[in-house]
Amino acid sequence: MKRMMVVALVVTLALAFVFLLSGAMLELGPAAIDLRAQVSAHLAESGVSHPVTAVLLNYRGYDTLLEIAVLLLALLAILAVVGDAPASPSRATHPVLQTLGRLATPLMVVVAVYLLWAGAFRPGGAFQAGAVLAAAAVLLHLVGLLPGWSTPRLRLRIGLAAGFALFLAVAAALLTQGSLLQYPPDAAGALILLIESGLTVSLALILAGLFLFLAREERA
């Protein structure tokens, strides 16, 4: 009886929070500053033709750089908490599930590559591509084809930090132009593609690691 009351209280509080949050969002007024016109006017100088990518990696590159740092710090915090542990063996699952996992993973890799390439001119980019690759790794783990990760070795550490380090290196190199992330117009497209390629790999490893470093605690 007591357990049911606790569950009912939690559900009630959760519904009340959702209701209040929905009301607050519906009451939001129009944005005080509308930058769509400015973004469109300078889109040709950004190196890409999609405004979202231009904002994320050109006009507001500082925010994106810090977002990568936050994700990396979150993973480091998890590793600091769980400590060293051996990788757990893969759990045996039904052969049909494993076959479906083997078939789905290459398709997910193709989708990730497409999202990375398409980000310059339509919705997509490093975050979406990295999330799809991470989902592929999680899928392989759930069907018993990929064990939980143990303490990261040198190559995995390099992969985890490479995207952030590359982004930071490009930003530092641009200081010679007088600003931290002000791309030269003639090289902006190539630099953004370089940064997104590195971020795709690192984001995939970071997002997969948030799951697989904890999954190592499981026992078959």
Is position 172 within any domain?
Answer: yes
> Are 132 and 111 within 8 A, CB to CB?
yes
Q: Is residue 3 part of a domain?
A: no
Does residue 33 fall inside a structural domain?
Answer: no
Answer yes or no: is 8 within a domain: no
| Average pLDDT over every residue of 62-71 | 89
Q: How many Å apart are CA 85 and CA 101, to the nearest integer?
A: 26
85: its two tokens: 């542990």
Whether 81 is in a domain gets the answer yes
* Burial class of residue 32, CB neighbours in 10 A (0-12, 13-18, 19+): exposed
Confidence of residue 219 (pLDDT cuts 50, 70, 90): very low
Cβ count within 10 A of residue 199: 27
Question: How confident is the model over 182-198, as a mean pLDDT?
Answer: 87
Burial 54-92 (b: 16+ CB within 10 A, else e): bbbbbbebeebbeebeebbeebeeebeeeeeeeebebbe
Determine the Cα–Cα distance for residues 55 and 64; give it in Å rounded to an integer.
Answer: 9
Q: Taking Cα atoms as reference points, which of 81, 115, 136, 90 lies closest to residue 196?
A: 115
- Rg (C-alpha) for the chain, rounded Å, is 21
Rounded Cα distance between 30 and 71, Å, is 31
Give residue 220's pLDDT: 41
Q: What's the total number of domains in the chain?
A: 1
> Nearest to residue 105, comparing CAs of 126, 113, 88?
113
Q: How far apart are CA 22 and CA 97, in angstroms?
A: 39
Spacing of C-alpha 164 from chain mean position: 12
User: What's the pLDDT band for 69 if we cut at 50, 70, 90?
Assistant: very high
Cα separation, 219 vs 208, in Å, equals 19
The pTM of the full predicted model, rounded to 2 decimals, is 0.76
Is residue 134 in some structural domain? yes
For residue 217, pLDDT over 60 is answered with no
Indicate the pLDDT class of residue 133, thresholds 50, 70 and 90. very high
- Domain enclosing residue 108, as ranges: 47-215
pLDDT band at 125 (very low <50, low <70, confident <90, very high): confident
pLDDT digits (tens, 9 = 90+) for 79-113: 888 766 555 555 667 788 889 999 999 999 999 99
Banded model confidence at residue 73, pLDDT cuts 50, 70, 90: very high
> For residue 103, is it within any domain?
yes
Type of residue found at 199: L
Is position 100 within any domain?
yes
